[in-house]
Every structure is written in C-alpha cells, then in structure tokens.
Amino acid sequence: MKSIATITRTKEIMERHQLSFKKSLGQNFLIDVNILEKIVSKAGIDDETVVIEVGPGIGALTEQLAKKAEHVYAFEIDGRLIDVLEDTMSPYPQVTVIHQDILEVDLNTFIAEHVPEGKKVKVVANLPYYITTPILMKLLSSQLPIESITVMMQKEVAARMAAAPNSKDYGSLSIAVQYYTESDVIMTVPKTCFVPQPNVDSAILQLYVRSQPYVSVKDEALYFELVQASFGQRRKTLRNNLKRAFKDLDAAELDQVFAESNIDGTRRGESLTLEEFGYLSDVMSLYVKNN
C-alpha cells in the first residue's frame, strides 16, 4: 500500500471519510514521504524510543514514526480524525491515538504512567501554525523528561526561535526557547509539499532539551517578565520599556538596577544576551521584592 504522505492516498483517505480540511485547526497535510523520513531520521528515532506526537492529522508522520519507534502516542484534538486514524493506523499496533487537546494534558503524569523507566522520550510533530508557540512553551516550561523536540512549523517562526542577539528575528520567543533548549533549524520545507498548500514555507526546528536552563536565575518568573517587557516596544530603550512595565520602581531605583547589573539602560532588548538578561533580572529581584 502507498504511504499516506502521497497526494493520491491523502485524497483517497479524505474522500473515503468524507473529510474536508479544517482551516481553523491549521490543517495542511504533508505529501512528501522523503521529507517525513528525513524528520524521523534527524530526530534519531529507533526501537528504544517512545514518541509523543502532537496533531497527527490523518497519520502521515505517525506512519513513518511507527516504522522506527517502540511506541507512538499521538494526541489529536479534531474528533473527526479519530476514526480516520484508527483506520490508517490499523497496521501499527505500536500507535496509540488519544483524542485530547495537548494543552490540557498533564504530560509529566502521562509519561510517568505510560513510559517504562529508562526509555528515551522524544516529541515529534507537524505543529498547526496557529498554535505553535503555546504548544512549544507548554512542552518546554513543563520540564518534561524528554530528550528532544523535532517539529515542523512556519519558517519565520522557526527563524525567530533559533535567532541570535542583534538580529531582526531575535526576541522574547528566541530567549524562551534557548533558555530551555539548544535550537537548530535543520531543514526548510516548501509550501508545495502540502495539501492544501499554505501561504508560507515551513521549516524543521530541532530542540535538544538542556539538563539545566541556559542561565541560572533567582526568580524565573521575573526573568521572563523582564524579557517580555524589554521587547514591549522594540524601538524603545531598555530604560523606557522597563519603566513602562515595572511601575513600582522609580527612576532612581531603575538607574541603580542598570548600574549594579552593569547594563546600559540606553541599549535595546534585542542587543542583550540570555546571560545579560539574567544579571538584570537578579539585580531587579532585589528591588521588586522591596516595593
């Protein structure tokens, strides 16, 4: 039987199940088997790996994962696709389809209950464009016992996540991703490889989860609040952005924060490294708590 990721098989599955593509769920199905095989290979999936997949759709990527992995747990939010997946995944007993929104799943508990101790756990997914960032931030901030995350997403979003300081793509999203992981854009996927064809090209982003965050900070919540505030208005200086966000600090206190952290308040957020945000955050934590 032909692979699911071909135009003829995809159309045949859609017609048999009387399905239409649901734009609200960002459904664009990949029709290039070679790309899926590369994703599985780059992710390092083998028969010792348990995979968590988000948004399997009709099972094109799931099928390729199932050929290599010990087990695949595929979370699908669209109820219309559950019967489809039971059909397309019927040759693969090592696939478990779960009808649930990944954003509502306690993945730490799920992994503890379903994955034998000592097994490698990896996340592999073709993420819906409209919800890429919330899903990734949940996966990263939950401190899951996973090795890596290999995901397809909009090319521009992948570039932002892997961006370095002093580049136009660098921002709070870059810092959040790099705080938890080492990131690398490993491949671009043209929009012509999908049906229906999206408006933009995609990219495969690989994230290797760090055993410890990239920087050690006193108050992680404050660190991310500070980062977010620093990019509030990209063209404004750090001083102006932080003055706007931290109203409890007066001008003298804010100047003292910059002096003690050895950060020039006239710089812009995009020029600071993750470490520099850490210095700033740790000093600011002393002043914020005192107000």
pLDDT tens across 142-159, in order?
Answer: 989 999 999 999 999 999
Mark the binding-site residues, compressed into ranges: 28, 30, 55, 76, 101, 126
As given in the structure block, the two tokens for residue 277 are 């945000």
On whether the CB atoms of residues 45 and 65 are closer than 8 A, the answer is yes
Instruction: Determine phi and psi for 52, rounding to 5 degrees.
Output: -105, 120
Cα(155)–Cα(237) distance, integer angstroms: 28
DSSP 11-52: HHHHHHTT----GGGT--EE--HHHHHHHHHHTT--TTEEEE
Buried b (16+ CB within 10 A) or exposed e, 62-73: bbbbbebbbbbb
The pLDDT score that the predictor gives to residue 104 is: 96
Domains of the chain: 7-209 (3.40.50.150), 220-290 (1.10.8.100)
Q: Round to whole Å and give the CA distance between 58 and 27.
A: 10
Binding site residue list for S-adenosyl-L-methionine:
28, 30, 55, 76, 101, 126
* 89, 95 Cβ separation under 8 angstroms: yes
Q: Which of 193, 127, 194 is nearest to 161 (CA)?
A: 127
Under-50 pLDDT residues of the chain: none
Degrees (nearest 5) of the Cα angle 35, 154, 68? 30
Residue-wise over 246-269: b if at least 16 C-beta within 10 A, else e? Answer: beebeeebbebbbeebebebeebb
The predicted structure's pLDDT at residue 146: 96
**What global pTM score does this model have?**
0.90
Q: What is the DSSP letter of 267?
A: S
- Residue 95 phi, psi dihedral angles, 5° rounding: -110, 130
pLDDT for residue 22: 63
| Predicted pLDDT of residue 24 | 56
